[in-house]
Structure 1
Amino acid sequence: MLISIRDLINEGVKKLETAKIASPLLDVQLLLCHVLEVDKVFLYCHMNDTIDLQKAEEFNKLLEKRYKGCPLQYITNKQEFMGLDFYVDENVLIPRPDTEILVEKILEIMKGENFIKKRSINIADIGSGSGAIGLSLAKYETRCKVHSVDISENALKITTRNSENLEVKQRVKLYKGDMLSPLLNKELEKSFDIIVSNPPYIPSDEIDSLQIEVSKYEPRLALDGGLDGLEYYREIITASPKLLAKNGVLAFEIGWNQGEDLKKLLKETGEYKNVEVIKDLANLDRVVIAVLNPD
């Protein structure tokens, strides 16, 4: 039995609307594009075309996953970030547009007076996940050498896959371990120009109240920031001075209300200067930048 693209889209939208999916039409279109290996323009130009039963069944299986709340990105294994395509699955967080603010700020910093004359820039990406932050920096700034750290072997495999797809693998080194621990050795002391991280920062008791796409499907290990959401920030802030070079930069993505807490944590150590909180487009806390005090 054949079914038209138009009918398949209409039926899919009705199904997703019953599940209160935020963008049912767009999601249906993207799922169908994924199955047919076409773009949205093709759909618009071929609404009356029919597709065979096998493709329709494949589409309906994916539609059912979305109906149950599975994020579209995990179904298609694709997410755009900084204008680049990243492979993602349930082993890593889905890169979000807000995180681009962090990447853009670091790219700006690397054009500043402390970095402009450097021939090579060593970056540690802590909790790399898909590699979205570190690999984007490597792609847009060829001086970057990225040290990607993650506790998850599966996440590191995804970082590797994305580094190959983006053709930056030769400037990326992987470390398996918890936060900064794999880097804390004599060889790497004071060797990093920038340490960047988007660590888990959701307070433990708030995770289950998040939208189902996050609470049920995204890896809890990458979300849970402990009792107050600040557990991993404390760990990184404490250990970073051992690794940062003179005028080295520590850069975090943070939760919408964590700016003042992070400023306080950084200033209490006496190790950092020029602590800056950067807002997102909604005027919410999103990024914290600090510079290591000279010895």
Structure 2
Amino acid sequence: MTTVAELLKEAVNKFKSAGIETPQLDAEVILCNIMNFERIQLHIYPEREISQEICRKFWELVEKRLNRMPIQYIINRQEFMGLDFFVEEGVLIPRGDTEILVEEVIRLYGEFFKGTNGTILDIGTGSGAITVTLAILIKNSIVFSIDISHKALAIAKKNAKNHGVDHKINFLQGNLLDPLLNKGFEKTFHFIVSNPPYIPTETVKGLSSQVKDYEPELALDGGEDGLDFYRKIVNESPKYLINKGWLVFEIGYDQGEAVSRLMDEAGFSKVEIIKDLAGLDRVVKGEWVK
């Protein structure tokens, strides 16, 4: 029988030969996922023998990783703000950068709306990372969550249920703000938040195969200049924000000035760019006062 150490060594060598960036980590994560182990257990019990069935499953998943499938899709899991989210092909994998948007919304809620029933709209919910995290961390929140993808909504609903906040979230299927049209949502939301597709079409073509071959193009392609979705959301959001409500976007690292300009021109006040830990533009926010 093969041992843990032998199995990992062989997989790591295959990953290295294929140019996988984190060969040891990926091999350990895949094996832990199959065995329901913590990674430390692999190092405590390196001589543990592995059954043929586990070996078969392991090599099946290793082959997927060799084909550049993201590790998150292989193990169906991604951590976001300390919470585990189910993910699979057809939904964008949550990124750590998006935590900055969530943290800013929580900060703004505490500063301006503490104690009120904060009503939040998340446009382009994907896996539900933003929606579910805000529903958990803002106790008095009521969240509406829109996505054009039926599959994304199904996964977001699953994550909401897994985290016990499905009763606080209203999921709507459709394009951007279209599901709200003529439904009585005018002047409803304290926050409209979005991490829309923002990569320019030509840039999408040059992304790594791990991203462009597996993650949904619908969640990546922001049009010719990457700003298509920002324009539409900026123009339509004022109708649905309360007086002194906030529009908060995640943006690409080089889009701060362009998105700020769109919000300024639309009449938003207190428009501000927030940088990530690397010092790059990551979030733009603005208040609607009318």
> TM-score surpassing 0.5?
yes
CA distance in 2, matches of 1:186, 1:164: 26
Bigger shift: residues 181-190 or 89-98: 181-190
Q: Map of 1:18-97 to 2, 5 A cutoff?
A: 18-97=17-96
Query: What does residue 262 of structure 2 align with?
Result: 265
Q: Is residue 178 of structure 1 aligned with residue 175 of structure 2?
A: yes
**Contact 2:29–2:39 (CA under 8 A) maintained in structure 1:** yes
Moved more, 206-215 or 283-292: 206-215
User: For residues 141-160 of structure 1, what are the structure 2 equivalents within 5 Å?
Assistant: 141-160=138-157
One-letter code aligned to 1:280: D
- In structure 2, the partner of 1:278 is 274
How many residues get paired? Answer: 290
Is residue 204 from structure 1 mapped to residue 214 from structure 2 by the alignment? no
Three-state SS of the structure 2 residue aligned to 1:111 is: helix
* 2:97 match: 98
> Structure 1 residues 219-228 or 176-185, which shifts more?
176-185
- How far 1:117 moved relative to its partner? 3.7
2-structure distance, mates of 1:88, 1:144: 24
**Cα deviation per residue 1:143-183 (whole Å; 9 max; x = unaligned)?**
11110100000100001000001100000001000001101
- Partner deviation per Cα, 1:263-294 (whole Å, 9 max, x = no partner): 11111112x1000100111111100010002x
Return the letter of the residue paired with 1:291. Answer: E
Structure 1 partner of 2:185 = 188
1:126 corresponds to 2:123: yes
C-alpha distance after superposition, 1:28-52 (max 9, x if no partner) = 0000001111111211111011111
What is the deviation of 1:83?
0.4
> What secondary structure is seen at the aligned counterpart in 2 of 1:149?
strand
Identity, in percent, stands at 46
User: Structure 1 residue 234 and structure 2 residue 240: aligned?
Assistant: no
Of 239, 242, 246, the match for 1:245: 242
Contact 2:187/2:241 (<8 A) preserved: yes
- Contact 1:184 1:243 survives alignment (8 Å): no
For normalisation by structure 2, the TM-score amounts to 0.99
For residues 91 and 75 of structure 1, what CA distance do their matches in structure 2 show?
Answer: 13
Q: Secondary structure at the match of 1:196?
A: strand
* Deviating 4+ runs (over 4 angstroms): none
Please name the residue that 2:7 is paired with.
Answer: 8
Unaligned residue ranges in structure 2 (runs of 5+): none
- TM-score (norm: length of structure 1): 0.97
Q: Distance in 2 between matches of 1:223 and 1:150?
A: 14
Q: Is the 8 A contact 1:126 1:195 kept in 2?
A: yes
Q: Residues of 1 paired with 2:183 and 2:123: CA distance? A: 18
**Which AA in structure 2 matches 1:24?**
P
Letter in 2 for 1:62: L
Per-residue deviation at 1:213? Answer: 1.2
Offset of residue 233 of structure 1 = 0.3
Specify the code of the residue in structure 1 equivalent to 2:79: E
Are the equivalent residues in 1 in contact too, given 2:115–2:140 (CA < 8 A)?
no
Deviations 1:104-128 (A, max 9, x none): 111111100x20241x111000000
Partner Cα separation in structure 1 for residue 19 and residue 219 of structure 2: 26
Aligned equivalents of 1:117, 1:158: Cα separation in 2: 30
Q: 1:186, CA displacement in angstroms?
A: 4.5
Deviation at 1:193, TM superposition (A): 0.6
